[in-house]
Chains A and B, each alone.
Chain A
Amino acid sequence: AQSVTQLDSHVSVSEGTPVLLRCNYSSSYSPSLFWYVQHPNKGLQLLLKYTSAATLVKGINGFEAEFKKSETSFHLTKPSAHMSDAAEYFCVVSVLPNTGNQFYFGTGTSLTVIP
């Protein structure tokens, strides 16, 4: 069975300080992992993905995530938060081969950036 746990429902950081959004996954097979961001009244935008290549994945807007199999984690980081980073972030796991390619979402982490 596949599942995702986002350990923090809300994270608040000051502008210019590092961001850490935590995600742990459970998967019976080799997973693909994704981070999506959702700004208010917008769709889900792909930030980055891990698909069994390099364990450190770089995404858009300065975000990175590191896949750690031993810890079953895929935490999202950014060295310096910007006001525009305030949004809801979702960690997602998918399992291949699976022709349905069903995505399993975490419950989301709401990021607040304090000026």
Chain B
Amino acid sequence: EPEVTQTPSHQVTQMGQEVILRCVPISNHLYFYWYRQILGQKVEFLVSFYNNEISEKSEIFDDQFSVERPDGSNFTLKIRSTKLEDSAMYFCASSPPARGISYEQYFGPGTRLTVT
């Protein structure tokens, strides 16, 4: 069964460094998302991406964040200058082409980002 994959599973970085989190969505999906979950808190939406542009973004997704689909398979989240409060689990998700109103999202296993 196709699944969303994410690399790395765990990333440790120093404050102020840039990180790139990578995701490979399910191959025929057209909508892509990033979420994050700070330890002990709820999963929060960051951004959605469709047709090579951002569809929607939350207040969390400020100028230090960017997303890209550099080729036909990868979907990346870049954090330019990490802060301690960026430490969280980051989930990538994708959803298939719209069929009626079936918009379920398929999630990857997450990347745990630790900023020291």
Contacts and interface: CB of A to CB of B under 8 A. Distances in A.
A101 B109 contact: no
Interface residues of A, number: 26
Contacts of A103: 33, 35, 43, 45, 93, 105
Given A43-B4, A43-B108, A99-B56, A90 B103 contact: no
Interface string A93-115: 01010111111111110000000
Interface of A: 32, 34, 36, 41-46, 49, 51-52, 90, 94, 96, 98-108
A100 B67 CA distance: 15
B31 interface: yes
Contacts of B3: 43
Contact of A44 (B31, B41, B45, B91): B91
9 contacts: A32-B103, A34-B104, A43-B3, A43-B4, A43-B109, A96-B101, A99-B48, A102-B56, A107-B41
A105 B101 contact: no
Given A32-B103, A99-B56, A100-B48, A105 B43 contact: yes
A103 B33 CA distance: 10
A108 B43 CA distance: 9
Given A101-B95, A107-B42, A43 B110 contact: yes
Interface string B76-110: 00000000000000010101000011111111111
Interface residues of B, number: 29
B68 interface: no
Nearest to B105: A103
A114 B116 CA distance: 38
A51 B58 CA distance: 24
B43 A41 contact: no
A99 B49 CA distance: 9
Contact of B48 (A43, A101, A105): A101
